[in-house]
Structure 1
Amino acid sequence: MTTTLALESGYWSSLGRGVGAIILYALVGLALMLIGFFAVDLTTPGSLRGMVARGLPNAVIVSAAGMISMAFIVVLAIYASAGKLSEGLIAAAIYGLVGILAQVISVRVIEFVFGIDIGAVLKNPEFSTEALMVAAAHFALGLVVAVAIL
């Protein structure tokens, strides 16, 4: 007795399109997260990349929050595209770039209003609660931008 696996017509092409979409969105998401990281790096005193590489806790916390907030934006751009790959990729890229700009400016304003010396906070080898405030600002602004996409 043999068992035959019955697949719907077009199954493999649909699967291929899905795998292709995953790869393309992952590349756009990665590019946006890197651009976002370097935008934060450029607007903070010192080398954020170097501070993260040295394992400075405040730099790691702030950077991680920035990455998570960028992921929110990309995820909601994908969701809002309703399965249309080309529109979703374009929307994710544009919303991501606008989100990066909005975050960098907004977080710097929050740091100024609260009197946070972000350079000193990031360079501090000890955990600082101010890093949580800046991380929360990144996280919150990522949510705001992401939901604005809908």
Structure 2
Amino acid sequence: MTTTALALADDFGAQLGKGIGAIALYAVVGLVLILLGFYAIDWTTPGKLSDLVRTGKPNAVVITAAGLLSMAFIIVVAITNSDSDLTAGLITSLVYGLIGIIVQVIAVRILEWATRIQIGDLIQSETYSPASLVVAAAHIALGLVVAVAIS
């Protein structure tokens, strides 16, 4: 009867610690970028978006949720395509994420202008409007395009 011993590599603990640290750092970068993305959407949208969402304006909620989702696409792809070196990876994720957010916000504003949707009136409305889905789809579609451009 032979027995096989399972043993961990000598540097297992160090590698595990490094991995946990990398997760934490990328999570911080991701959170910062999501917050910057939210404030970029808020800054370029008529009205105080956080107040409109908090008070339950349905169109503001739909558009904000789509905007955050599109920002997440950009950030996830920026992190996925970052350098394997942790420091370089964090820097490239941050830079690609910032550029992606800027490009995405500009592109959505141009698309909103082209569709002639009155975003200020739409997001402040008490009643749901299907037009909010057009703006939401634009956020998601352009977020995906920007994310793929990063890769």
Q: Is this a same-fold pair by TM over 0.5?
A: yes
Q: Which blocks of at least 5 consecutive residues in structure 1 are unaligned?
A: none
Superposed displacement of residue 57, structure 1:
1.4
Alignment of 1:86-125 (within 5 A): 86-125=87-126
Q: Which runs of structure 2 are paired with 1:1-150 in the superposition (5 Å)?
A: 6-81=7-82, 83-150=84-151
User: In the alignment, is the contact (CA less than 8 A) between 1:21 and 1:85 conserved in 2?
Assistant: yes
Instruction: Give secondary structure in 1 for the equivalent of 2:73.
Output: helix
CA contact (8 A) 1:76 1:146 kept: yes
Cα offsets for 1:60-102 (capped at 9, x unmatched): 1111111111111121122212532222211111111111111
> Using the alignment, how far apart are the partners of 2:28 and 2:15 within structure 1?
20
SS at match of 2:10: coil
- State the AA in 2 paired with 1:125: E
1:88, 1:70 → 2: CA distance? 18
| % same residue | 54
Tell me how large the CA RMSD over aligned residues is: 1.5
CA distance in 2, matches of 1:30, 1:99: 15
| TM-score normalised by L of structure 1 | 0.91
Whether contact under 8 Å (1:77, 1:88) holds in the other structure is no
Summarize deviations over 1:124-147 as a string: whole Å, max 9, x none. Answer: 121111111111111111111111
What TM-score, normalized by structure 2, do the two folds share? 0.90
Aligned residues: 147
The runs of 5 or more residues in structure 2 that have no matched partner are: none
Alpha-carbon distance between aligned partners in 2 of 1:79 and 1:40, rounded to the nearest angstrom: 24
Instruction: Report the 3-state secondary structure (helix = DSSP H, G, I; strand = E; otherwise coil) of the residue aligned with 2:9.
Output: coil
User: How far apart, in 1, do the equivalents of 2:11 and 2:62 lie?
Assistant: 45
Using the alignment, how far apart are the partners of 1:138 and 1:84 within structure 2? Answer: 31
**1:62–1:135: 8 Å Cα contact kept in structure 2?**
yes
Mark the CA change 1:97 to 1:82 in structure 2 (over 3 Å): closer, same or farther.
Answer: closer
In structure 2, what is the Cα distance between the partners aligned to 1:108 and 1:46? 15
- Could you tell me how far apart the structure 1 residues matched to 2:29 and 2:83 are? 17
Supply the distance in 1 between the matched residues of 2:100 and 2:82 (Cα, whole angstroms). Answer: 17
